[in-house]
Amino acid sequence: MKRAFPILGVLTAILLSYALYLALVVAPTERTMGDVQRIFYYHVPSAWTAFILFFINFGASVFYLIKRNPAADIVALVTAEVGVVFCTVVLVTGPIWARPVWGIWWTWDMRLTSTLVLWLIYVSYLFLRRFSSSGQTPLLAAALAVLGALCVPFVYFSIWFFRTQHPQPVMGGGGSIDPRMLHVLLINWLAFSCFAYLVCWSRYRLEKLQRDVDHAHALESLLAPRGSVR
């Protein structure tokens, strides 16, 4: 296991560089948007990766509620953290792309708004984990994760209806995508997923170690002879 980590790290680095090369050099330039459109290869894979991580967070939380498995709790924590990072990347690259193309930084369009709400929900999840002082934080967090995940379809439908009632300028290329672009997009997504997996893995090990250390400290102070407790 320990040897697999650096190997995966090197592979991810190579894959990321290759994906960068593909996105910046190989991918055809978009006809109307020009080179700005290349941010698409970061924006979309980040979004997909974030959604997958949030989905894993939901699965791990349900599993934790049923089985009370500590590993599932660490997985839920880690995927939420990394997912929020990727979701932030989406929310930052979006306006950078939107400004030259649509002429505005932000619009309360359906996808933008629902991504923002999703981000808010998972940030509040991380807040709960940070502020909760009881030993039962995993349970509370898992309950919140389930409610948050259930909220997502409501967010989507409500904002969909909210925004279709008041038509906005249509954005994002509707219609089909060039197969060469799709290829680059998928390679980028693969690279991003590997990267996310790598970060989650290392964060998982860190959290596991932290908990083991805390546990050992607690045990030590229990077992220490009277008077020598620090």
Q: Which residues bind another protein (CB under 8 A)?
A: 65, 117, 120-121, 123-124, 127-128, 131-136, 139-140, 143-144, 146-148, 150-151, 154-155, 157-159, 161-162
Q: How far apart are CA 35 and CA 48, in angstroms?
A: 22
Q: How far is the CB of 137 from another protein (least distance, A)?
A: 8
Q: How far is the CB of 162 from another protein (least distance, A)?
A: 6
| Residues 118/88, Cβ–Cβ less than 8 Å | no
DSSP 8-state class, residue 68: -
- Considering the complex, state which of residue 105 and residue 157 has its C-beta at the smaller distance from another protein: 157
- Considering the complex, state which of residue 75 and residue 121 has its C-beta at the smaller distance from another protein: 121
**Residue from 52, 51, 28 nearest 38 by CA:** 28
Q: What is the dihedral of CA 86, 128, 60, 190, to 10 degrees?
A: 10
- Considering the complex, state which of residue 135 and residue 167 has its C-beta at the smaller distance from another protein: 135
Q: How far is the CB of 37 from another protein (least distance, A)?
A: 31
| Residues 151/84, Cβ–Cβ less than 8 Å | no
- Considering the complex, state which of residue 8 and residue 123 has its C-beta at the smaller distance from another protein: 123
- Considering the complex, state which of residue 134 and residue 176 has its C-beta at the smaller distance from another protein: 134
- CB neighbours of residue 197 within 10 Å: 15
Q: How far is the CB of 153 from another protein (least distance, A)?
A: 9
Q: How far is the CA of 210 from the CAs of 74, 102, 220, 226, in angstroms?
A: 11, 46, 15, 26
Q: How far is the CB of 84 from another protein (least distance, A)?
A: 12
- Considering the complex, state which of residue 141 and residue 187 has its C-beta at the smaller distance from another protein: 141
Q: Which class for 104: exposed (0-12), middle (13-18), buried (19 or more C-beta within 10 A)?
A: exposed
Q: How far is the CB of 119 from another protein (least distance, A)?
A: 9
Q: Could you report how far apart the first and last alpha carbons of the chain are, in Å?
A: 36
